[in-house]
Homo-oligomer: A and B are copies of this chain.
Amino acid sequence: MNKNSSNMMALAPNTSNKRETVCIFGTGDFGRALGYKMLQAGYPVVYGSRSRQTSSLIPKDAEVLSHTEAAQKAAIIIIAIQRQHYNFLTPLAEVLHGKVLVDISNNLKLNQYPESNAEYLAQLVPGAKVVKAFNTVSAWALQSGTLDASRQVFVCGDDMEAKQMVMDIVRAVGLTPLDQGSLLAAQEIENYPLQLFPMWKFPILLSLGLVTFFFFYCLTRDVIYTYIYEKKNFSFFIAISIPNRICPILALTLLSLVYLPGVLAAIIQLYRGTKYRRFPDWLDKWMLCRKQLGLVALAFAFLHAVYTLIIPIRSFVRWRISSQTISQALNNKTEPLDITNAWISDSYLALGILGFFLFVLLGITSLPSVSNSVNWREFRFVQSKLGYLTLILCTAHTLVYGGKWFLSPSSYRWYLPSAYMLSLIVPCIVLVVKFVLIFPCLDKPLTRIRQGWERNPQYSE
């Protein structure tokens, strides 16, 4: 390694503790914000600009030079310019040779260009060492110092030493660098800040659809029907009673939808006799958003729990209980304790509590820091064993809730069954199929298939 060339100096351990000069091409908002931060961290900063007249917005301690002069002063050059102007760098190829170029650009759309901006930059200036960094941080966040959000800066590049230099700067300005490997990772890094919860879209749209359906279903049965046939105005059911019907239905349905794709995948593999053929696309996508489905289900379960606990405080409930007590008192009769009723009431509450408890446990283990601290075997144990136990408990909770009136014709209104009965369809299907699948006659071939065995090896040739 030739350590005599000027630009390699920066790579040598810096014993004098003086920071190396950093050059920034471009005096836009982000270039200025980064310049300020780097000056604060003790780096001499030099700007490369078309016009050499210093703007009042550029940090005072920074020098402004032409691109060529500025580039010569530093071993590391931050390209704070939009991609469409990168071609102005081509004539500078000679002076940029061997320099570290930091691409900080972002696009406006996902996969806007065929290759990432950083790779495009590397093609334009083949002699330079391109490193992708800083694109996940906003100028506003850098400047206001209110980095409550992620301090993570993804860094990638093909040259290890160049990457190390950039990661040192990232640390110096108070951020956390994360090495993402070679420059091939740039595309993903550039797409990252454009996303808005992509994995959550399907679960949230699905639950919005289901919420709307069940809202009108319950409105019809509980408010409109009662108003027409019993002449009672229960419109205030919209605030608590109906949400507290919708939430458990959605929690149970979404939870069972977490386990349905696994069951479907097992059936497909058993039918095909191999694991080496891809699942249909919809199944793949479904499997990838199971965690999000489960967490949305947990949110509904949490709401259901709070809505239920609040019941005795409701003015309507207090009035109803009080009227019942008064009417009993006025009729001079005391009802004896109905043991069956007490059993049903306590059982469905207990099942609900235990199911909710396990559900919360599943939610906690899906926190990134917790799931990172368990191994694959432990994760499978929690998500599969405990997950199915949760589904069983919650399904049982709903079944026992129905109690004596389950499937009784008197509970039908306008031929509509109670809403909770609709929520039992998917979980019961999942549980029955899963129960069938654990029979040895099906479980054994499935296990073998998953270990790589094929029923018809000639098939795939």
Which B residues touch A323, using CB under 8 A? 334-335
Which B residues touch A377, using CB under 8 A? 193-196
B158, B195, B313, B361: the one contacting A13 at CB < 8 Å is B158
- Size of chain A's interface in residues, with CB distance under 8 A? 141
User: Which of A141, A146, A313, A342 gathers most chain B CB within 10 Å?
Assistant: A342
Are B150 and A299 in contact (CB-based, < 8 A)? no
Are A17 and B322 in contact (CB-based, < 8 A)? no
Are A302 and B146 in contact (CB-based, < 8 A)? no
A129→B15 CA distance, assembly (Å): 8
Contact with B along A4-36 (1 / 0, CB 8 A): 000000000111010100000000110010000
A236→B344 CA distance, assembly (Å): 9
B316, B361, B366, B375: the one contacting A337 at CB < 8 Å is B316
| Copies of this chain present | 3
Are B457 and A56 in contact (CB-based, < 8 A)? yes
A419→B318 CA distance, assembly (Å): 25
Q: A324 at the A/B interface (Cβ < 8 Å)? A: yes
A377→B367 CA distance, assembly (Å): 20
A208→B162 CA distance, assembly (Å): 50
B182, B192, B243, B457: the one contacting A350 at CB < 8 Å is B243
A14-B182, A196-B381, A239-B343 given. 12 additional CB < 8 A pairs?
A: A17-B182, A29-B451, A32-B452, A136-B376, A138-B376, A141-B376, A146-B288, A172-B181, A306-B357, A319-B335, A368-B372, A368-B373
A126→B16 CA distance, assembly (Å): 9
Q: A132 at the A/B interface (Cβ < 8 Å)? A: no
Q: A94 at the A/B interface (Cβ < 8 Å)? A: no
Q: A143 at the A/B interface (Cβ < 8 Å)? A: yes
A216: shortest Cβ distance to chain B, in Å?
18
Q: A185 at the A/B interface (Cβ < 8 Å)? A: yes
Q: A144 at the A/B interface (Cβ < 8 Å)? A: yes
Are B375 and A148 in contact (CB-based, < 8 A)? no
Chain A interface SS verdict (over half):
helix
B287, B330, B345, B369: the one contacting A368 at CB < 8 Å is B369
Which B residues touch A335, using CB under 8 A? 319, 322-323
A27 (CB) vs chain B CBs: closest residue: B452
Are B376 and A149 in contact (CB-based, < 8 A)? yes
A18 (CB) vs chain B CBs: closest residue: B184
Are A346 and B136 in contact (CB-based, < 8 A)? no
A376: shortest Cβ distance to chain B, in Å?
5
A247: shortest Cβ distance to chain B, in Å?
10
Q: Can you report 19 A-B residue pairs in the complex whose CB atoms are below 8 A from each other?
A: A13-B129, A56-B458, A57-B457, A137-B376, A148-B371, A149-B379, A149-B383, A160-B164, A168-B182, A172-B184, A195-B378, A236-B343, A243-B350, A303-B357, A308-B310, A309-B309, A319-B338, A321-B322, A369-B370
Which B residues touch A324, using CB under 8 A? 322
Q: A159 at the A/B interface (Cβ < 8 Å)? A: yes
Q: A356 at the A/B interface (Cβ < 8 Å)? A: yes
Contact with B along A295-320 (1 / 0, CB 8 A): 00001001101111111111110111
A123 (CB) vs chain B CBs: closest residue: B17
Q: A122 at the A/B interface (Cβ < 8 Å)? A: yes
Which B residues touch A342, using CB under 8 A? 236, 314-316, 319
List A362-408 residues whose CB lies under 8 Å from chain B.
Answer: 366-381, 383
A129→B42 CA distance, assembly (Å): 21
Are A149 and B236 in contact (CB-based, < 8 A)? no
A375 touching B150 in the complex, CB below 8 Å, given contacts A17-B158, A321-B318, A334-B327 = yes
A373→B316 CA distance, assembly (Å): 44
Which B residues touch A374, using CB under 8 A? 149-150, 197
List A133-176 residues whose CB lies under 8 Å from chain B.
Answer: 136-141, 143-146, 148-152, 158-160, 164, 167-168, 171-172
Q: A183 at the A/B interface (Cβ < 8 Å)? A: yes
Which B residues touch A171, using CB under 8 A? 179-181, 185
A108: shortest Cβ distance to chain B, in Å?
12
Are B150 and A371 in contact (CB-based, < 8 A)? yes
A295 (CB) vs chain B CBs: closest residue: B364
B57, B168, B347: the one contacting A239 at CB < 8 Å is B347
Which B residues touch A432, using CB under 8 A? none
A149 touching B275 in the complex, CB below 8 Å, given contacts A17-B182, A126-B15 = no
Q: A281 at the A/B interface (Cβ < 8 Å)? A: no
B29, B141, B309, B353: the one contacting A303 at CB < 8 Å is B353
